[in-house]
């Protein structure tokens, strides 16, 4: 489907502000009158909803609880099942390592092992990021896979790092070497398919050299390799939709997804107010503004209903900073639900509102999961939203005669 819509996409000078309140969808809990969104006082979101077409969206498929990666791909109109990527690629993208189609991406956990080679700490005592940087530098200086491959190694934080093995015809179908328990040595890397055997040979060479290089480290004296993934580049937001896109997001995961779609990344900002301010500052330079608010998800994960309500109310108070720009299309939605009642992601569909001068408003006058059931968008997969946004921005040509 996506390919067919892409061919209709056309340039225009219209502006789209796409506000994602991470994990916004919720559930009622005892003693509260409804979900987090229902309980929150949200006069700005409600009056926006009254002028919008509203609905509910399933991030992946009904009943499927998504991770943040696929849930965001769906919001950008990419098939979340097809676009689903290994953790290695997400980790590398999260620190904006420039990935190529010759790369196998791998997450590294630095770990501690004893004289017998058995793991005693799977996170190397959560070493400081500065130590991680020093250890990575040691490896970079002492490890080489030339002429078969290059390695790109970068610190993420604490005990985590990202590794790219870059070479020709390298498969990524390799299981983790993390045994997920203590008192045993790391697992040997094993190729699940013949196409990954060359990579496994290179990984073994990497491990031999890296272990020698960091043998004298008190904590980080071994590495566990996880989330092997061959990188397949995505068609960018510009290639697909002709949208010059800016991502305003403060967490590596979301910056990573935006990076993979070749959006420009705004520098990390202090808070939601600064994020909204960034839209205003960059308003003339871009067509599409992806604005990501993390607090709703974080407080949901904490299981803190009241705190999540408070984040929603803060966003509502700040909302005029975006709506006063009067974008041609204003969207507020979520990647997935994170009900405080569940302290984690869930499959529940997420509310969405879309306002434009030509959106055909419905009868919904309150932005919450229950009111939006009555909306004109009805219920649909999240990945169907992007064509509707483009249509409302007058950026899709007619199909057929």
Interface residues with a second copy (CB under 8 A)? 1, 4-5, 8, 27-28, 35, 56, 60-71, 80-81, 84-85, 87, 90, 227, 339, 341-342, 345-349, 358, 360-363, 369-370, 373-380, 384-392, 396-401
Q: How far apart (Å, rounded) are the C-alpha atoms in residues 290 and 297?
A: 17
Nearer to a second copy, 222 or 338 (CB): 338
Determine how many CB atoms are found less than 10 A away from the CB of residue 400. 3
3-state class (DSSP) for residue 22? coil
Do the Cβ atoms of 367 and 353 come closer than 8 Å? yes
Q: Name the helix (H) or strand (E) containing 56.
A: strand 53-58
Nearer to a second copy, 103 or 121 (CB): 103
Kindly state the smallest distance separating residue 257's Cβ from a second copy, in Å. 11
Nearer to a second copy, 50 or 273 (CB): 50
Nearer to a second copy, 28 or 125 (CB): 28
Tokens of 129: 């990021």
Nearer to a second copy, 63 or 194 (CB): 63
Nearer to a second copy, 182 or 298 (CB): 298
Kindly state the smallest distance separating residue 4's Cβ from a second copy, in Å. 6
Kindly state the smallest distance separating residue 19's Cβ from a second copy, in Å. 19
Tokens of 305: 């209903």
Kindly state the smallest distance separating residue 339's Cβ from a second copy, in Å. 8
Nearer to a second copy, 86 or 171 (CB): 86
- In whole angstroms, what separates CA 272 from the centre of its chain? 17
Do the Cβ atoms of 147 and 91 come closer than 8 Å? no
3-state class (DSSP) for residue 226? strand
Instruction: Supply the Cα-derived Rg of the chain in whole angstroms.
Output: 23
Q: Which of 156, 340, 370, 335 is nearest to 258 (CA)?
A: 335
Kindly state the smallest distance separating residue 209's Cβ from a second copy, in Å. 29
Question: β-strands 16-21, 329-333: how paired?
Answer: parallel
Residue 229 phi/psi, 5-degree rounding, is -155, 125
Nearer to a second copy, 15 or 345 (CB): 345
Kindly state the smallest distance separating residue 21's Cβ from a second copy, in Å. 17
Q: How far apart (Å, rounded) are the C-alpha atoms in residues 15 and 7?
A: 20
Kindly state the smallest distance separating residue 108's Cβ from a second copy, in Å. 16
Nearer to a second copy, 295 or 361 (CB): 361
Angle of helix 252-260 relative to helix 68-75, nearest 10 degrees, comes to 40
Kindly state the smallest distance separating residue 261's Cβ from a second copy, in Å. 16
- In whole angstroms, what separates CA 225 from the centre of its chain? 21
| Residue 308 DSSP class | H
Tokens of 124: 């190397």
Do the Cβ atoms of 249 and 255 come closer than 8 Å? yes
Q: How far apart (Å, rounded) are the C-alpha atoms in residues 8 and 15?
A: 18
Nearer to a second copy, 27 or 210 (CB): 27
3-state class (DSSP) for residue 119? strand
Kindly state the smallest distance separating residue 386's Cβ from a second copy, in Å. 8
Do the Cβ atoms of 347 and 25 come closer than 8 Å? no
Kindly state the smallest distance separating residue 90's Cβ from a second copy, in Å. 6
Kindly state the smallest distance separating residue 80's Cβ from a second copy, in Å. 7
Nearer to a second copy, 142 or 397 (CB): 397
Q: How far apart (Å, rounded) are the C-alpha atoms in residues 222 and 212?
A: 9
């Amino acid at each position: 489907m996506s390919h067919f819509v892409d061919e209709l996409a056309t340039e225009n000078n219209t502006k789209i502000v796409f506000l994602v309140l991470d994990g916004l969808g919720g559930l009622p809990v005892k003693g509260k009158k409804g979900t987090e969104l229902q309980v929150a006082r949200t006069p700005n979101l409600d009056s926006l909803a009254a002028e919008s077409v509203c609905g509910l969206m399933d991030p992946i498929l009904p009943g499927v609880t998504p991770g943040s990666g696929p849930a965001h791909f769906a919001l950008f109109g990419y098939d979340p099942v097809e676009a689903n990527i290994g953790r290695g690629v997400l980790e590398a993208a999260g620190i904006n390592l420039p990935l190529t189609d010759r790369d196998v991406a791998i997450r590294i956990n630095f770990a501690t092992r004893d004289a017998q080679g058995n793991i005693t700490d799977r996170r190397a005592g959560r070493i400081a990021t500065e130590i991680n940087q020093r250890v990575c530098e040691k490896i970079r200086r002492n490890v080489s896979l030339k002429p078969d491959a290059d390695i790109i190694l970068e610190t993420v934080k604490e005990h985590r790092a990202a590794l790219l093995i870059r070479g020709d015809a390298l498969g990524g179908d390799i299981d983790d070497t993390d045994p997920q328990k203590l008192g045993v040595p790391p697992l040997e890397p094993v190729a699940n398919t013949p196409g990954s055997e060359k990579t496994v040979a290179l990984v073994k060479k990497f491990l031999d050299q890296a272990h020698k290089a960091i043998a004298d480290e008190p904590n980080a004296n071994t590495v566990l390799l996880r989330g092997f993934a061959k990188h397949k580049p995505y068609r960018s937001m510009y290639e697909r939709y002709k949208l010059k896109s800016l991502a305003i997001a403060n967490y590596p995961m979301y910056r990573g997804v935006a990076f993979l779609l070749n959006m420009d990344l705004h520098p990390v900002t202090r808070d939601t107010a600064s994020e909204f301010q960034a839209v205003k500052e960059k308003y003339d330079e871009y067509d599409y503004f992806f604005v990501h608010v993390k607090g709703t998800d974080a407080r949901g994960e904490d299981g803190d209903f009241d705190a999540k309500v408070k984040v929603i109310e803060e966003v509502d108070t700040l909302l005029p900073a975006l709506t006063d720009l009067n974008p041609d299309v204003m969207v507020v939605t979520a990647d997935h639900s994170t009900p405080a009642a569940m302290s984690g992601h869930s499959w529940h569909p997420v509310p969405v509102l879309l306002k434009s001068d030509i959106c055909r408003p419905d009868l919904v006058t309150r932005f919450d999961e229950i009111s939006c059931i009555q909306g004109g968008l009805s219920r649909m997969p999240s990945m169907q939203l992007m064509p509707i946004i483009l249509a409302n921005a007058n950026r899709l040509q007619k199909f057929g005669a």
